[in-house]
Every structure is written in C-alpha cells, then in structure tokens.
Amino acid sequence: MFEAMARPDLIQDVVDANRILYRKGILDAFGHVSARHDRDPTRFLMARNLAPGQVQAADILAYSVDSGEPLMEAPPKLYLERYIHSAIYQARPDVMAVVHHHSPAVLPFTIARGVRLRPVCHMCGFLGGGASEGAGDGAGPPVFEIRDHAGDATDLLIRSRELGAALATCLGAARIVLMRGHGATVVAESVKLAVYRSVYAEVNAKLQAQAMALGEVTALSDSEAKAARITVEGQVERPWNLWKQEANSNDA
C-alpha cells in the first residue's frame, strides 16, 4: 500500500506546537496536539503517548479519522483520549488542527455554575460566535457534561469513539469546547492558530476572573469578537515565530 507521507514542515509544526504549549503552561505532562494530514484528509497526525515537552518528529504517528486508531501494526502506547481528535476531524471538515488541554485558568470555567467563559479582550475574539458568523448566542463556548453521556462514574476521559462523537456534537460550530471538571479542546484551521487560541483562551480566562472579582463584566459583542478575531489571527505568524524560538532556545 502506498503510504502518503505528510509534509515534513507539518510534522515539525506539530512538534513545535507540543513544545510551545508545554513552555506556556497550557500542557503539562498531559494533553495533546494533532493536525489533519495534508495529503489525506482521512488521517491525522499526533504523537504516541508521551509528555508534550518531549515530543520529537519520530514520535508523530498517522491515525485514522474513522477509527481513531494508528495506521500501523504493533503501535506503541497511545493517548487514551485520541478519540477527541478523530471524532472532531470526522464531524468538522474545516478543522485542520486540534489541541486538548487541561489549562489551569480555563478549568474553573468548566466547573463553576452560572458563569460562562466569554471573550473579554480583543485578543480573544475566537471565543465568540460559531464557525458560521452570527451563530453566537452570547452564551460563550459550549460546556461538555460527560455525565449526560456516560453516567456519573467515569474517570471523565474521552476513552471511546462514542464519547468522542458526543464531544464533537457539543463543540458544534464553535472553536473551543469546555469539558466539565477536565479541561478544554480547541480547534482551528491550522496548527499555528490552534496554538494561538489555546494560549489566549488561558489569557482570557485569567482576565475574566480578575475582572469578575472587580465587578460586573462587559464581554465583546459577537460583532466585536468577529472583527477582533479577523484582525489578530491574520498576524498569527508573529506570536508563532516568537514562541517557537522561545520553546527551542533552551534545549540542552
């Protein structure tokens, strides 16, 4: 069988994304980054089971979007939650990269009732609206409640294709889905944008919590969020290049 190789620079982007998000404190020993295969949309690229800060190009495997399983015999140990990625690539043809993380400032917004993560600054417009503009209801990104799908005795992990599909349904057309008591999953049209959104979801969560401690909060309107997103995300190369340099500068 002809094995279509992914572009080396796409594999390197996945490696760099792991290292950047580790350095930024978005990923620790857990969490993962994937990219849809550039030559075969039925595949995606993601590391084997490894701490993100240790991922290298040789650790990146090709997986099936249909099954969430790697396209190789006798695979190494894999991430338990790989079905997050496969289910989202299956449900969202527009998505080219996925980050799943447990970043600490975002997590309270998955737990606290009666408060929603909202875009509160111009760098975080991606938190507003849906993939189709105007879809935003002002309610903030969706929150996935695993109990609605698997009862109240799970370890909260997305361990199956069925739970992955339920998470993808909850994500809908949004760019991030929060996961109650667990973390969040961010999607984007590129690895660089997925990294940007992961970093700035954390920034927004900190800002929003600080602002809420001071008083009532004004979030961006859907129109402001859209305009700010288009402006800022058009410059994604700038933070990417800086963060990539930082992430790789202290390697021994």
Determine whether 81 is an active site residue.
yes
Closest CB to Zn ion among residues 129, 183: 183
String marking each residue 171-190 x if it binds Zn ion according to CB under 5 A: ------------x-------
Closest CB to Zn ion among residues 81, 222: 81
Considering the complex, what minimum distance in angstroms separates the CB of residue 222 from Zn ion? 29
d(CA 61, CA 76): 10
String marking each residue 37-76 x if it binds Zn ion according to CB under 5 A: ----------------------------------------
Strand order in the sheet with 97-101: 60-64, 43-47, 32-36, 97-101, 183-188, 176-179, 143-144
- Per the structure block, which two tokens stand in for 101? 């993380």
158-177 burial string, b = 16+ CB within 10 Å, else e?
bbbbebbbbbbebbeebbbb
For residue 38, the one-letter residue type is D
Considering the complex, what minimum distance in angstroms separates the CB of residue 113 from Zn ion? 21
Considering the complex, what minimum distance in angstroms separates the CB of residue 233 from Zn ion? 25
Task: Answer for the pair 221, 228: CB distance below 8 angstroms, yes or no.
Answer: no
Taken in order 192, 195, 199, 201, is the CA torsion positive or negative? Answer: positive
Closest CB to Zn ion among residues 119, 183: 183
> Pick the catalytic residue: 3, 69, 73, 81?
81
Q: Which residues are catalytic?
A: 81
Q: Which residues bind Zn ion (CB under 5 A)?
A: 183
